[in-house]
Amino acid sequence: METIEVKGLTRHFSYYEKAEGLSGSLRNLVSRKKLVREAVRGVSFGVREGEMVGFLGPNGAGKTTTLKMLSGIMHPSSGTATVLGHVPWLRKKDFRMRISIVMGQRSQLWPDLPALESFNLNRAIYEIDRKDYERTLGELVELFGVKELLGVQVRRLSLGERMKMEITAALLHRPAVLFLDEPTIGLDLLSQRAIRELIRTLNERHGTTVMLTSHYLSDIQELCERVVLINSGEIVYDGALSGVNATLAERKVVRLIFSSPVAKGELEAYAGLRADAAALGDPGLLEATFDVDRSQVRDFSRRALGELPVADLTIEEVPLEEGIARLFRAGAGHG
């Protein structure tokens, strides 16, 4: 049995169109046009116990709405879902005691109190044995290196320090399922790395099931072997992270750096010149990037080295971001 099972999950939001100006406001008192926005449309997927899944999509795609339904914060318009065998929006006690959600742009800590006060409150709410609480808190504090910050008011902490405290609070009861919505947003690289290391350790030691949304692909690449991509409320891809670039697998990115400027027209004689490079225009380019068929990379490189003032040449895989962006565009066109 899967830890998370989702079938046809849908969420609609109703609102009224607001006419412009005072006259429009007066008309709205008599007659209003009702509109419906489909935030999530028939989403279906499953997550196995102990799996870490990246849940990706552009802004407004339906990621946060889906996580809110799976954590019981929001009711769906239709469809079904179970988490740990429970219907999330029924919010039964056993369910609430075994899951946790961290939202990078929402705080669960009291801003005018030290984080330790909120931790103690969570201990009481989740009925955690004091010895277990002290042991778990000690482990998390040591892993994050925040012992000296426990007595500092939350509002006086930096964003990175606050997020470490937020995640600590969410993990005190050792949840079996953890939903993370942009947990590293706005953080510096060191803080991002610390949080990723914590999530990885949590999963390895306790088999915690994790669903993670992030705009930082490094979060996904380091933690998740599987990704679910959502666009315009619909799933456009569900599978291995390595398969995201399957549509681009037969191409390579060849980057050339020149010892002297090369005219745009001369570079356009080579197929695959990227638009971002061509847009730089004359009087000449000192570098250029090409999309090249994998089977043609050797011939392309030999020709470029023989005809152009190439100072350096690198051959790279198509970036993960491009594979994801192409799947998003395909999903939007399909919808």
For residue 277, pLDDT beyond 60 = no
Residue of higher predicted confidence among 224 and 192: 224
Mean pLDDT, residues 267-277 = 79
- Residue 38 phi, psi dihedral angles, 5° rounding: -90, 100
CA distance 165 to 160: 9
Query: Which tokens go with 256?
Result: 């050339």
The answer to whether residue 166 sits within a structural domain is: no
CA distance 120 to 126: 10
CA distance 130 to 136: 10
Q: For the domain that residue 36 is a member of, what is the CATH number?
A: 3.40.50.300
Residues 257 and 185 in one domain: no
Maximum Cα interatomic distance, the chain, rounded to a whole number of Å? 76
What kind and span of H or E run contains 262? strand 251-262
∠159-160-163 over CA atoms, to 5°? 85
Residues 195 and 94 in one domain: yes
Residues 181 and 90 in one domain: yes
Q: Could you say which of 243, 268, 302 is where a domain stops?
A: 243
Local confidence band at 278 (pLDDT 50, 70, 90 cut-offs): very low
The answer to whether residue 218 sits within a structural domain is: yes
For residue 332, pLDDT beyond 60 = no
CB 119 within 8 A of CB 136: no
Q: How confident is the model at residue 52, as a pLDDT?
A: 96
**Tens-digit pLDDT profile for residues 48-94:** 999 999 998 888 889 999 999 999 999 999 999 999 999 999 999 99
Residues 6 or more apart in contact with residue 116 via CB below 8 angstroms: 150, 151
Q: Which alpha helices (H) appear in the chain, and where do they start and end? A: 21-30, 63-70, 93-96, 115-125, 130-144, 159-171, 189-206, 217-223, 264-267, 275-278, 297-307, 320-334
For residue 335, pLDDT beyond 50 = no
Residues 92 and 10 in one domain: yes
Residues 258 and 200 in one domain: no
Local confidence band at 245 (pLDDT 50, 70, 90 cut-offs): low
Residues 237 and 254 in one domain: no
**Tens-digit pLDDT profile for residues 3-31:** 999 999 999 988 777 767 777 677 777 77
Beta pairing, strands 209-213 & 177-181: parallel
**Tens-digit pLDDT profile for residues 126-137:** 999 999 999 999
Residues 221 and 275 in one domain: no
Tell me the one-letter amino acid at 169: A
Mean pLDDT, residues 183-210 = 86
For residue 325, pLDDT beyond 60 = yes
Which structural domain, as residue segments, surrounds residue 258? Answer: 247-317
CB 114 within 8 A of CB 153: yes
The answer to whether residue 70 sits within a structural domain is: yes
Local confidence band at 160 (pLDDT 50, 70, 90 cut-offs): confident
Domain count, the chain: 2
Residues 6 or more apart in contact with residue 325 via CB below 8 angstroms: none
* 3-state SS, residue 331: helix
Q: How confident is the model at residue 321, as a pLDDT?
A: 67
For residue 199, pLDDT beyond 80 = yes
Residues 197 and 276 in one domain: no
The answer to whether residue 170 sits within a structural domain is: no
Mean pLDDT, residues 287-305 = 90
